[in-house]
Amino acid sequence: MADAGVPSAPVARRLSTLDRFLPLWIFAAMGAGLLLGRAFPGLGPALDRVQVAGVSVPIGIGLLWMMYPVLARVRYETIGAHVADRRLLAASLSLNWIVGPLVMFVLAWAFLPDLPHYRDGLILIGLARCIAMVLIWNALACGSGELAAVLVALNSVFQILTYSVLGYFFLAVVPGWLGAPTAALEVSMGGIAKSVGIFLGLPLLAGYLTRRVLVARRGEAWYDGVFIRRVGPTALVGLLYTIVLMFAMQGDRIVTLPLDVLRIALPLVVYFGVMFGLAFLVSAKLGFDYETTAAVSFTAAGNNFELAIAVAVATFGIGSGEALAAVVGPLVEVPALVGLVYAALWARRRFFVREAAA
């Protein structure tokens, strides 16, 4: 007999068709890009001819396209709802903006000591805190939807304020402390800030204004039930479109490096497990109920791969190892986070018995 309040349907079946088969769609987009690049060898230079902020215009359109629907979904008006709980706020911000980047930095250096470009790509992922899919994983695990929305909104704001600073610190400063060469890192805080401003700041502003205007005119029920339901899935289309173009421009280089892709994926899998487990343990020790614990844990474990891809492309180039590492991210995230949803529901039954029975 299933526990009360815990959905009996398998987690994968409660995902939409698009989300359930996201790894398949990403593989298909990679394959389509490779075929496109082979069929039209001059496509890469043609796409790269017109650039804005160091990114080809067709790629830039895709980067903005995949960010806007995500940020239009964020409930910015709820930011102040949980700020009064200082323990909760401190736990979430510490996990997201101190622990998360540090864990990814350590894993990147541990797994990829000889591949600095992939390592830097993983670090960019670790700095980009989740602002989209976490809402889905949290809902599947029966976490607090309201709290998750608040934490997502906070992460959106913090990314604008801190991403460029942390990016420069972990890519160009800390490696020097470890004795690694930093001269080869053509990274500037201004360059990262410019990328974040364009590919996160603009869609963030557009998403905020869209929600504020349309909710005022049509109501929240219409906005969430009609507008977001129609616009939200197009973020995946934007992601797949971007991947197709990226792989068309990188050509056969990807096919010849399957072991490199595996080496990028392994630290990501470890990262998801470590961050989720640590956040779950900290939240439980602080006495949070299950719904709060789940929301904090999934927010800490997830990442904003769209932003990492945008910054990697704009800072290092479309054909860079950093961009490849960022693209591998969403391929790994879906199966890993689905597994963590099952783990969260098991932990609820095992350690939150009274809540599960309520």
Is the confidence at residue 81, as pLDDT, over 60? no
In angstroms, rounded to a whole number, what is the distance separating the alpha carbons of residues 29 and 234? 15
| Band (4; pLDDT cuts 50, 70, 90) | very low
> pLDDT digit string (tens) for 235-251?
888 888 888 887 787 65
In angstroms, rounded to a whole number, what is the distance separating the alpha carbons of residues 164 and 98? 14
Determine the pLDDT at residue 3: 47
The answer to whether 318 and 246 are in contact (CB under 8 A) is yes
Is the confidence at residue 184, as pLDDT, over 70? no
The answer to whether 150 and 82 are in contact (CB under 8 A) is yes
The answer to whether 304 and 153 are in contact (CB under 8 A) is no
Over residues 290-301, the mean pLDDT reads 93
> pLDDT digit string (tens) for 5-17?
445 556 656 666 6
Is the confidence at residue 327, as pLDDT, over 50? yes
- Domains in the chain, start-ordered, CATH in brackets? 15-353 (1.20.1530.20)
pTM of this prediction? 0.78
Determine the pLDDT at residue 123: 94
HSE, CB side, 13 Å, CA atoms: give it for residue 344. Answer: 36
Q: Is the dihedral angle over the CA atoms 269, 236, 150, 15 positive or is it negative?
A: negative
Distance of CA 79 to the CA centre of its chain: 20
Give me the chain's average pLDDT, please: 81
Is the confidence at residue 36, as pLDDT, over 80? yes
**In this structure, what are the phi and psi dihedrals at residue 294, rounded to the nearest 5 degrees?**
-65, -45
What letters, b where the CB count within 10 A reaches 16 and e where it falls short, cover 43-55?
bbeebbeeeeebb
